[in-house]
Structure 1
Amino acid sequence: MTDPEMQRIADLGTLKAFSHPLRMKLYRALTVARTATASQLAETVDEAVSLVSYHLRKLAAHGLIEEAEPQSADGRERWWRMAAASGVSVRDQDFRDAPESVAAHAAFSRMLFRQSSEMYERHLDEQSAWPQEWRSAAFSSEFLPRLTAGELAQLNDEMHALAKRWTERGRAAEEAGDTEGRENVALHFYGFPFRQ
């Protein structure tokens, strides 16, 4: 599935730049905040402002983020936003041409998985602090269907379309002022073949 609002990372240099753990955390934090300064993001990721500023400039140099309209009267503040409205996409097919590309894609995917796992483990540690309605709404499921490669690709397209629809619904509600009871929600999807 191709989303015109999603930026496709297809070159090795950009993938390597994005593969830094702090840069990925900053990108995720900026996705949630939509616009933020280095100071705000530094507080979110618990790092020094100078270090965060350096990594934000690296993300910007590769076109992953860009300067945003100032959100305050302080002209010294530099505001940032994602360059693509729906985030980024990294596909295996773009990194098959050389061993270095294959290795970089695998390293990126492993780091993304580790960070996703850390987010879920943190949720498990903190879930008792959430109200009952959120604890009941949260889910974790595993399905083990037997599919063809084409069927798995179709399932991927359908899941992305569904997630995009709910993401847009939440943003539209927020823009209309409906913020009551809304929280950030992480959806992690993996679909891959395996043999026992």
Structure 2
Amino acid sequence: MEQAHRHLGPEDAGTLKALSHPLRMRLLLLVHEAGPATVGMLAERLDQPVGVVSYHMRQLARHGMVAEVPELARDRRERWWRLVPTESLSMTPSEFAGDPVGSVASRATMLQLIDATAERMREWVNGMHAWPPEWQDAATLARKGPMRLTAEELSRFDRELDDLVLRYQALGEDHQALGEDGGDDRRPVVFFCHTEPVGPPPVSE
């Protein structure tokens, strides 16, 4: 069943284990960014055998992350996949503190997301000069901070970033709805964000 908001908790250890596979994480992010695609298109983009990609897409579907789009198929052999739409996919690390299996699965999933994100950033840096100057300059690779915040303030900062992203998503969707999304000016854009406290953790009293 598709959900607007999906929270992965300790009861979702199987889903987290599925997402901790490096190819599955890359496939999920690719379908998220590119939209519906066939197994062949995904295999070509990631330089993987079609059979391997097909297997891992079925595993993602088993855990409700992707779904088939049969109406796009031109024949019975062609299989299209899309992301199962969610407004948010969240995970609360502290929920796994007393769960050895969930802790390993959640950490492995987060590390795969980091690896996939770093790979994507390297691809951009290596190929950025093929883009027009305005796009080279508009894209950012920056380290900002430090800020002195409480945990509650950091959570609020994250929520405000979410609101900002949603506002700009709506901007692009409004242009598309009005038929103003043609030409080369408007492109899909991804945004990566990571925040963390710096220094040793506080000592428990």
- Answering whether residue 167 of structure 2 is matched by residue 165 of structure 1, we say yes
Name the CA distance, whole Å, in 1 between partners of 2:178 and 2:25: 30
Match of 2:107 in 1: 106
Partner of 1:150: 152
Note the 1:89-100 alignment, pairs <5 A. Answer: 89-100=90-101
d(CA) in 1 for partners of 2:135 and 2:187? 9
Question: Does the 8 Å contact 2:73/2:79 carry over to 1?
Answer: no
Deviations 1:143-187 (A, max 9, x none): 210000000000010111211222233244335441322333221
Alignment TM-score, normalising by the size of structure 1: 0.88
- 1:47-84 CA-to-partner distances (Å, cap 9, x unmatched) read 11110000000001111111224224323322211122
Q: Which residue of 2 aligns with 1:68?
A: 69
Cα distance per residue 1:89-132 (max 9 Å; x no partner):
23313422312222222222122112111211221122222111
Question: Are 2:73 and 2:80, in contact at CA under 8 Å, matched by a contact in 1?
Answer: no
Q: Gaps (5+ residues) in structure 1?
A: none
Q: How many residues align?
A: 193
Task: State the TM-score, normalized to the length of structure 2.
Answer: 0.85
Give the stretch that moved more between structures: 79-88 or 129-138: 79-88
1:45 aligns with 2:49: no
Partners of 1:74 and 1:182 in 2: how far apart? 32
Note closer, same or farther for the CA distance 1:7–1:82 as it changes in structure 2 (3 Å cut). Answer: farther
SS in 2 for 1:70: helix
Structure 1 residues 163 and 135 mapped into 2: Cα distance closer, same or farther (>3 Å)? same
Is residue 9 from structure 1 mapped to residue 8 from structure 2 by the alignment? yes
**Could you tell me which amino acid in structure 2 is paired with residue 182 of structure 1?**
R
Q: Which residue of 2 aligns with 1:182?
A: 186
Structure of higher CA gyration radius: 2
Unaligned runs of 5+ in 2: 201-205
Q: CA RMSD in A?
A: 1.9
Identical aligned residues as a percent: 35
Which has the larger displacement, 140-149 or 50-59?
A: 140-149
Q: Measure, in 2, the Cα distance between the counterparts of 1:176 and 1:27.
A: 29
